[in-house]
Amino acid sequence: MITLNTDYLKGFVSANELEGIFPSVRLAHENLHKAKGSGAEFTGWLDLPSRIPDTFIKEISSLAKEVHKDSDCIVSIGIGGSYLGIRATLEFLGPHTGHSQLLGGGKLPVYYAGHNISSDYLHQLLSELRDKRITVVVISKSGTTTEPAIAFRVIKNFLESKYKGEELKKRVICVTDEKKGALRKIASKEGYRSFIIPDNVGGRYSVLTPVGLVPLALAGVDIQSLVDGARAAQKEYSVCDLDKNTCYRYAAIRNVLYAKGKKFEVLSSFYPNVFYVAEWFKQLFAESEGKEGRGIFPASMMMSTDLHSMGQWMQEAERTVFETFLQIDRPHHDVIIPQDQENLDGFNYIAGKSFDFVNKKAYEATAAAHFEGGVPNMTITLSKPDIMHLGHLYYFFEKACGISGYILGVNPFDQPGVEAYKKKMFALLGKR
């Protein structure tokens, strides 16, 4: 399902260096699989795909059918790991045909809230929802994270002006802690249907828990195939061998490059539906590795647009960066470039070729040019842009991140730095 091309690492990463880092990879593998490493209490994602009951998938798929009968859209309230995996999946699958900025793809439109604190955004959202039949999915482990909590307050009030009694009750679905937290109290008091966030899976690793599966199912996504893709990846990336395990090879390469002063990784793609997958990738690696004065800074570029802006920096700026391309072998559709009788633009030489042919040549040229300009790069390629391959990719990056964090010597499953701004914000807001 996924291949890793390392041709443009020559001169930057050698076979001897990979052999030299392998003991660290092996130790990381043991710490992860034997739950001996720091943060081991949050490694429930490791075997999660194989533990998801098919009965649970059928349960939420059945719920989705109920919701589709009397809803025009879904409102998904969450931030960070309770937002990015959902949006990444829907944007990856959905057509880019001028949706409202509030929407993602899916059979049932999904609006997002709680991922920012913009009054203009929320006002526009409420305006668009005024005449729609809506079902709200609010996702929060604690229920006290500021952004989703206050967004839910406003939207709950909005719902109460539209619905009463049992009709109101069925319009809200909570995904939260099993026993504790503000959102659990609200769900119990109001009688809202709820699903449990596992204690042993952190937010940024939670796309395959009810955090991601519930709203995605409601939107009409084939979550069975998403899980099946992740299950295949769990099996494929279980062996500790750099030749056979491309996930571990990717993690090892990242750390060899980091030790040589390559402090920034740019995830680049020539496929715009990958935009939010890259945003999800950035949260995963930034929160996992960026601590104790260490960590590769994850960034992203969408090509070929960014070749006309960031491309200059990539080609000739400070050589502290490496690049990972995320490519798609066979897109769903293609467009043929027509012949033009006058040929005023001079492009008849590629008439009859497809857009994807040109797109791939642009990628090949970029990878070669950046390599020659001193940017080592590698390429992850998905065979097809479908939901099963995306599930495979999610697990690939999660496993690579856990291994890479342990090689780096940090706890890849906590995020103590995230609390700093919260404490200052609460103080400024007057919270006691």
Along the 432 residues of the chain, how does pLDDT read in single tens digits? 899 999 999 999 999 999 999 999 999 999 999 999 999 999 999 999 999 999 999 999 999 999 999 999 999 999 999 999 999 999 999 754 333 444 444 578 999 999 999 999 999 999 999 999 999 999 999 888 999 999 999 999 999 999 999 999 999 999 999 999 999 999 999 999 999 999 999 999 999 999 999 999 999 999 999 999 999 999 999 999 999 999 999 999 999 999 999 999 999 999 999 999 999 999 999 999 999 999 999 999 999 999 999 999 999 999 999 999 999 999 988 999 999 999 999 999 999 999 999 999 999 999 999 999 999 999 999 999 999 999 999 999 999 999 999 999 999 999 988 888 888 988 888 888
Q: Which of the residues are catalytic?
A: 287, 308, 422
Q: Do the strands 297-302 and 193-196 form a parallel or antiparallel pair, or are they unpaired? A: unpaired
Are 194 and 141 spatial neighbours (Cβ–Cβ below 8 Å)?
no
Question: Which tokens in the block code for residue 169?
Answer: 């009750």
Which residue type, as a one-letter code, is found at position 110?
A: V
In which residue ranges of the chain is CATH 3.40.50.10490 found? 2-37+229-408, 48-221
**How far apart, in whole angstroms, are the C-alpha atoms of residue 195 and residue 209?**
10
**How far apart, in whole angstroms, are the C-alpha atoms of residue 188 and residue 196?**
13
**How far apart, in whole angstroms, are the C-alpha atoms of residue 169 and residue 189?**
11
Half-sphere exposure (CA, 13 Å, Cβ side) for 134? 27
Are 77 and 155 spatial neighbours (Cβ–Cβ below 8 Å)?
yes
- List the beta bridge partners of residue 193: 173
**How far apart, in whole angstroms, are the C-alpha atoms of residue 191 and residue 174?**
10
Classified as helix, coil or strand, 13 is: coil
The residues, any chain, with a CB within 8 Å of residue 167's CB and separated by 6 or more, are none
Question: Which tokens in the block code for residue 323?
Answer: 């690049």
| The pLDDT of residue 95 | 57
**How far apart, in whole angstroms, are the C-alpha atoms of residue 27 and residue 147?**
39
What is the SS3 string spanning 334-402?
A: CCECCCCCCCCCCCHHHCCCEHHHHHHHHHHHHHHHHHHCCCCEEEEEECCCCHHHHHHHHHHHHHHHH
Question: Which tokens in the block code for residue 380?
Answer: 């992850």
Residue 325 has φ and ψ, to the nearest 5°, of -85, 140
Handedness of CA 84, 31, 52, 252 (dihedral sign): positive
Residues 362, 363, 365: CA angle, nearest 5 degrees: 65
Terminal-residue alpha carbon distance, the chain: 52
Which residue type, as a one-letter code, is found at position 199?
A: D
Q: How far is CA 141 from the centre of its chain?
A: 18
**How far apart, in whole angstroms, are the C-alpha atoms of residue 400 and residue 390?**
15
Are 217 and 65 spatial neighbours (Cβ–Cβ below 8 Å)?
no
User: Residue 53 carries which DSSP code?
Assistant: -
Q: Which of 314, 298, 320, 308 is nearest to 373 (CA)?
A: 314
**How far apart, in whole angstroms, are the C-alpha atoms of residue 395 and residue 305?**
28
Q: Which of 23, 29, 42, 13 is nearest to 403 (CA)?
A: 29
The helices-and-strands tally (H runs, E runs) of the chain is 16, 10
**How far apart, in whole angstroms, are the C-alpha atoms of residue 189 and residue 194?**
12
Domain 48-221 CATH assignment equals 3.40.50.2300? no
Q: Where are the alpha helices (DSSP H) in 260-385?
A: 275-289, 311-316, 355-372
Q: Which of 10, 49, 13, 39 is nearest to 242 (CA)?
A: 13
Spelled out in words, what is the top-level CATH class assigned to the domain 2-37+229-408? alpha beta
**How far apart, in whole angstroms, are the C-alpha atoms of residue 271 and residue 204?**
23
Are 302 and 326 spatial neighbours (Cβ–Cβ below 8 Å)?
no
Task: Answer yes or no: pTM beyond 0.85.
Answer: yes
Question: Which tokens in the block code for residue 133?
Answer: 């039949």
Q: Which of 178, 290, 212, 294 is nearest to 45 (CA)?
A: 212
| The pLDDT of residue 418 | 85
Question: Which tokens in the block code for residue 94?
Answer: 């959905």
Are 326 and 277 spatial neighbours (Cβ–Cβ below 8 Å)?
yes
Residue 210 has φ and ψ, to the nearest 5°, of -55, -20
Look up tokens 């559709």; give the residue: 333
